[in-house]
Chains A and B, each alone.
Chain A
Amino acid sequence: MTQLDRLSVYHWLNAWCIKPVGGALVRQEPEYILLALMGSPLKKIMLCSSEKEIFSVEEQVMVQHSVIINNMIEDGSYNHEESKIPLDCVDSKTLKKVIDYCTHHTHHHNDNQEDLEAWDAQFLNVDSNGLYDLLMAANYLEIRNLLDLIYGTIKNMIKGKKIDEIRRIFNIKDHGFTPEEEEQNRKEYPHFY
C-alpha cells in the first residue's frame, strides 16, 4: 500500500478507534488498528503519568520533540516490549496536552506558518494553572519548541502592562510591600501604575 493510501485509511479509522475493555486504561490510537491490518509496525512507546495512567504514543513523535525521551531511546534504556516511561512530575491532563502538541506538530510540520500559529494559540487556551503545569512538563521533558511557545506567551502577559493589571493576571493578592514601601514605589515610578 502506498503512503497516500495508508493516510486515507488512517483518517477513516480515526473515526472508528477501538478502546480495549478492562485492565489498564490504554488509549487505542488508530495506528494500532492500521498496523494490525498493514502488518508494518509504527513503533509505539508507553508513557505513564503521575496518576498511573498509561498513554501510548508514536515513538517518532516523542523522539522528535523531547530531548529526554530521545536520549532514553537512543541509549537503549527503554525496552519496547516491557517498559513504560514513568513521568511522575506530569499529571494525566497535562501529559495528554503535551502528547497532543507533539503529535500535531509532527504530523502537520508541513503546514504553513499561520495555520500552525493559529493552532498553537488555540492549544494554549487553557486556564492559568494549566499553562504553568504545561511549562513544567515541557521543561522536564525538554521540549524546546513548546517551551519557547509558553515563554513567549507568559512574556506577553507581562510586557507593557501596568502593576495592577499584572497583579490581577497572576492573581497576586498580597504584594508584600509595607504601606511606606508602596508609597515610595508610587512616587518614583508613577508611570508603572
Chain B
Amino acid sequence: MKGSLKMTNLLSRIRNSSKKTKTNTNQHRNRKRFKLRNQNAISIPKDLPSPHEEEDEEEENAEEGFKLKSSAPLLTHGVQPLGNLYLNPGSINSRDTGLGNLHTLSDELVLEILGFLDSTDLGVLSTVSKSFYVFTNHEPLWRNLVLENLNGGFQFNGSWKSTYVAASYPSFDISSNALKSFKVRDFYSDYLFQSWLCANLEMKPEWLERDNIVRKRGISVEEFVLNFEEPNKPVLLEGCIDNWDALENWDRDYLMQLSGDVKFAVGPVEMKLGDYFRYSDQVREERPLYLFDPKFAEKVPKLGSEYEVPVYFREDLFGVLGSERPDYRWIIIGPAGSGSSFHVDPNSTSAWNAVIKGSKKWILFPPDVIPPGVHPSPDGAEVASPVSIIEWFMNFYGATKNWKKKPVECVCKAGEVIFVPNGWWHLVINLEESIAITQNYVSRRNLLNVLDFLNRPNASTLVSGTRDRVNLYDKFKNAIEASFPGEIDELARKAEKKIQQKKLSFWDSVSDSNAGAFKFSF
C-alpha cells in the first residue's frame, strides 16, 4: 500500500493571514511571505514511507482539497507545518534543537545566512544536524548558486542541488549514496512547508472557472479603437492570427530544429533553448524560470518572419525611434506554473499577447484598483508583491469573490489574442507548457499618457527597456514632431476640450438639481 498523504481540510483552513497590527511599523514592512495560518493539524500518517517513493496518483480531497501535482514527492524530508506541533503536546521541534543558538531566528533569517555560504559550507552544515540538513537542502539556495556561478550554461539534473554538484564536481558520482535523502521526524516549519506546498500545488479548478472577459471575432479596427482601446478596456480577440505561420509551425521540435543552440534570455541568465527545455521538463518549483526574450527576432530572423502584428495594433508610435526604441516584443516560453505575478506594463504602454501553443490564465485589475496582496510604493517604482502566483491564488483569490469591482479573468488558448490596456494590473500563469508572443505599443490614444510618464522627475528609475532612460522623453517627443508634426498639440487640444466638456456638464447637472440655487456661467 502506497503511503498516501491526506491533505484533508488542510488548505480550506488556511485563511488570508494579513495580520492587522496596531503599530504603524508593520505597514512599512516588505512582507517576505504570507505566513501559513493553520488552525488545524494535518493528519500525517506516522509511518512515512521512504522519501524516494513518489505519489503516483493525484491526491484530491472531495470537499475543498487541493490537488498535488501528480508525482509530487512525498513531503520532502518530512517537514510539517507549525500547526501540527501545537496539537502534539510534549512534542519537540527538531528544527529548534538542531539549530542550537540560531533557533531564535526565523526561517527566513536562517536561509538568509545560508545564502552567504558556498557549496562546501552548505555541505558541511548538512552533516552538522538534521535540522541544518533540511535547511541546507532548500532548493532556492542551490538555484542561486547555479545561476550565479554557472550562468545559463547548466544541464538541469532533477534538482538544483544535483545540477550544481554535477557541474562543479564532474568526477563525483551523482548516483552514489551520497545524495540519498534522510528521513526527518518532528520538524515543524511553516515557511519550509509552504515553500514545498507552493512548488507542488496544481491550479484548483475553481480558480479557472470565472471567464468574464469580452470576446470578439472579426471586428473592424474602428470598432476595436472605439469600444476597447479608447475607453481602455481589455478584450479577447479571436481569429486574428489565423494566418500566422507560427501558429501552424511552432512547436517544441520545430523551435529546437531552428534554434536549439541559440541562447535566449531566461530570467537573469541566457540559456540555450535545448537546455531550457531540459530544465522545464523536470522542474517542480514555486517560481519556475521563464524564457522571456526581447531580441528573439534579431537572434533568429526566421521567427520574426513567421508572425505579424495583428491589424488592430499596427499603429505603434514608438516605431519613430527606430533601433533606439525600448524593448517592445518578446517570445515567451514556459512550463505549467510559470508566469508573471501582478505588475503594470512599463512606460505606460498597452500590450497584446498571442498564445501560439498551450494556454494561459489571466487576471486583470483596472488601473485604479490595486490587487489584494500587492503593495506598490508611492512613486510606483517598486511593487512589494513578494507572493508567488500560486501563493496569491491560495491566499488572495478568494477575497475577490466578494468585491464589487471584480477582476477581469479569462483563459487564453492557442490562436487567441488578449489586449491589455495601459495601466492595467495583470497576472498570468501558464496552465500547460506554452509558447506566446507579446508586444507593447503606443498608439495615438495613449501617446499623451506615455509622454507624461517619460517626463516624470523619477524617469530614471521608472522607465524600462532601454539604457537611455533620462533622454527618452526628449528623443521620443522630437521624433514624433518630426514624423507627425503638430500631432501632439492636436491631441492635447482634443484632450483639453474633453476635460472642459466634462467640467461643463458636471456643473450643469449640479446647478440643475439645485433649482433656484445660484447658477454658474462661463
Contact = CB atoms under 8 A, between A and B. Distances in A.
A63 B281 CA distance: 48
B15 to A, nearest CB: 23
Contacts of B28: 67-68, 71-72, 75
13 contacts: A128-B101, A132-B105, A136-B106, A139-B109, A151-B113, A158-B124, A160-B121, A167-B129, A170-B99, A170-B102, A173-B97, A175-B128, A176-B98
A151 B113 CA distance: 6
Nearest to A186: B127
B124 A161 contact: yes
A188 B178 contact: yes
Given A160-B121, A170-B99, A177-B133, 4 more contacts: A85-B25, A172-B98, A172-B100, A181-B182
Please list the 9 inter-chain residue pairs (A to B) with the smallest Cβ-Cβ separation, ordered nearest first. Answer: A176-B130, A170-B100, A172-B100, A175-B129, A71-B28, A171-B100, A185-B127, A155-B116, A174-B97
Nearest to A152: B116
A181 B177 CA distance: 12
Nearest to A86: B23
Contacts of A175: 98, 128-130
Contact of B24 (A77, A159, A184): A77
A25 interface: no
A51 to B, nearest CB: 16
Contacts of A154: 113
Interface residues of A, number: 45
B284 to A, nearest CB: 26
Nearest to A174: B97
Nearest to A89: B25
A132 B180 CA distance: 32
B97 A176 contact: yes
Interface string B22-50: 01110111000000000000000000000
B125 interface: yes
Interface string B200-212: 0000000000000
A176 B129 CA distance: 6
Contacts of B109: 135-136, 139
B94 interface: yes
> Which applies to chain A's interface (DSSP): helix, strand, loop or mixed?
helix
Interface of A: 67-68, 71-72, 75, 77-78, 85-88, 128-129, 132-133, 135-136, 139-140, 151-152, 154-155, 158-163, 166-167, 170-177, 181, 184-185, 188-189, 192
A136 B110 CA distance: 11
B178 A170 contact: no
A139 B131 CA distance: 22
A167 B27 CA distance: 38
Given A86-B23, A87-B25, A155 B113 contact: yes
A175 B98 CA distance: 5
B121 to A, nearest CB: 6
A171 B98 CA distance: 9
Contacts of B133: 177
B97 A171 contact: no
A62 B492 CA distance: 46
A72 B24 contact: yes
Nearest to B182: A181
A84 to B, nearest CB: 11
Given A68-B29, A86-B25, A192-B124, A170 B131 contact: no
A172 B128 contact: yes
Interface string B126-167: 011111010000000000000000000000000000000000
Contacts of B102: 132, 170
Nearest to B97: A174
A167 B128 contact: yes
B230 interface: no
B128 A163 contact: yes
Contacts of A139: 109
B101 A171 contact: yes
B485 interface: no
B116 to A, nearest CB: 5
A132 B105 CA distance: 7
B104 interface: yes
A158 B25 contact: no
Nearest to B116: A155
B496 interface: no
A145 to B, nearest CB: 15
B177 A188 contact: yes
Contact of A192 (B99, B105, B127): B127
A152 B112 CA distance: 11
Contact of A163 (B25, B27, B124): B124
Contacts of A132: 101-102, 104-105
Nearest to A127: B101
